[in-house]
Amino acid sequence: MARSQSKRIPLPGSERHPVAGAHSVGPVPHDERFEVTVRVRPRSSTASLAASARFAGDHKPAERRYLTREAYAEQHGADPADLKKVEDFARDHGLAVVETSAARRSVFLAGTAAAFSAAFGISIEHYENDGVSYRGRSGALNVPADLAPIIEGVFGIDDRPVARPHFQRAPAAPTAGGTAIARAGGRSYTPAEVGRLYRFPSDADGGGQCIALIELDGGYRNADLKAYFAKLGLPKPKVRTVRVDGARNHPTNADSADGEVMLDIEVAAAVAPKALVAVYFAPNTDKGFLDAITRALHDTTHRPSVISISWGNPEKNWTAQAMRSFDEAFQTAAALGVTICCAAGDAGSGDENPDQLAQFGEQPDGRNHADFPSSSPNVLGCGGTRLSGSGVHIDAESVWNDDAKRSATGGGVSDFFDPPAWQASAEVPASANGDKRRGRGAPDVAGNADPQSGYQVRVDGQDFVIGGTSAVAPLWAGLIALLNQQLGHPVGFLNPLLYGQLVGRHALRDITSGNNGGYKAHKGWDACTGWGSPVGEMLLQALR
């Protein structure tokens, strides 16, 4: 019996709603072609995966046993029988199978809007709102009943932008000899100066490590990298472009996402100058974002040991299937010994900058929101501070909050993820929304993020000072690369150690002053800066 004649049921977690304020302008032309990723279940459960490798828990990094990418694909990738069922279903509906990956648990399909509409029982329409136009759907996807347990998610039918970069440019400041100087309210730093303030291991350079950066727009220019690192007295880093879903390195101007891409590269490479930096460019869609993450995780050419993600959005803007699929990819990272560093957001505990929303005809809802993917329990959530110091001496450090709605560190309590067992000792508060929700608390750690104490970077031939938690994710990624090099093995999933053996080891600088709107800093873990900013040498010593 053809699958098209099988009983259909809604795919759990696939419900979609139009962007607030958007309206349909008509059906997508039947012959419009695009690609879709179908994510399928693993051949073994998460519990089975955890039992097969001592990759997390409170095990010290030296005691952990990680899976190789090849072993993971063989033992925990998708079952070939499941992949074939999805392929048969696709071909029954006139869809082409572009690629199948057991390791990435994905079947990549191509076809027309009419074919996808028939395959998943949906209406596909064009939506418009002030400043944004996208192909979308509403309601749930419908799949044959026997495929529902196999398919975890379907991504790419809806191509709305899913994430925003978490960087902010400081107001224009005078320069002295081409170098940003102190301004009213603070001073700026090179990434290397921030590394010295945080006492990053001085006898490590990241050699032998690969840092992956996930980028959903923008690009970099080699001439800028050459000029920037020459000014720092460092050789130009090795940067490799990896194209995902047709995206490419596409620099345009300094007012674009180029600022994000250059900030990520320059911060990570300045603190780990001998590490290879692999930049995975992907479209800013749920499909592009997920495909970039799984591509980096299962990249057997570059083999990154740490991934930095500086893009995100409030949890309420994601589908349940997307958050679950991303989180399962992050669980895979733990099994492979790959650390995932995610920016916690730049609009305080609300995570909705009203100025940015106004560009799309939207309004903030006045509630507190955790930013995803930093709210995943399987990533290292990176919050932001305001830093003051020189040399190796920190004079002051507090929660970054210049404007709780527009320029402040994200952080809070997840509305989707339950608190992980390793976070029990942190005393995560109930949600500031007053609903008594006790979910996963974010962030886990912090670092300099305030644009008023920001990073000196070069973007499209111009020098700027840029801040935001976007800088903290690659800063921690660079530090992880140094730690991996010094330890001789991956740090891997750091969170259970942060909340367990590392507490009280002086490996992090506790931030006890300030707030991000809905949450206040205090002694110990808090929903503004987590356990605090790094003390690199002490963290290395504690991990040893």
DSSP character for 361?
A: T
Are 398 and 510 within 8 A, CB to CB? no
What is the secondary structure of 247-295 as a DSSP string? -------TTSTHHHHHHHHHHHHHHSTTSEEEEEE--SSHHHHHHHHHH
What is the secondary structure of 28-66 as a DSSP string? PPTT-EEEEEEEE--SS-HHHHHHH---STT--GGG--P
| 45: its two tokens | 């459960």
Measured distance CA(176)–CA(540) in Å, rounded: 36
* Whole-Å CA distances, 273 to 231, 301, 306, 423, 472: 14, 20, 15, 33, 17
Are 488 and 371 within 8 A, CB to CB? no
Contacts with 265 (C-beta within 8 Å, 6 or more apart), sequence order: 213, 220, 225, 237, 239, 277, 279, 474
Measured distance CA(329)–CA(316) in Å, rounded: 20
Roughly how many angstroms between the first and final C-alpha of the chain, as a whole number? Answer: 60
**Reduced 3-state DSSP string for 105-146:** CEEEEEEEHHHHHHHHCCCCEEEEECCEEEEECCECCEEECC
Measured distance CA(171)–CA(331) in Å, rounded: 39
DSSP character for 382?
A: E
Residue 26's H or E segment, with its range, is strand 23-27
Query: Where in the sequence numbering do the catalytic residues fall?
Result: 260, 264, 470
Q: How many CB atoms lie within 10 A of CB 185?
A: 13
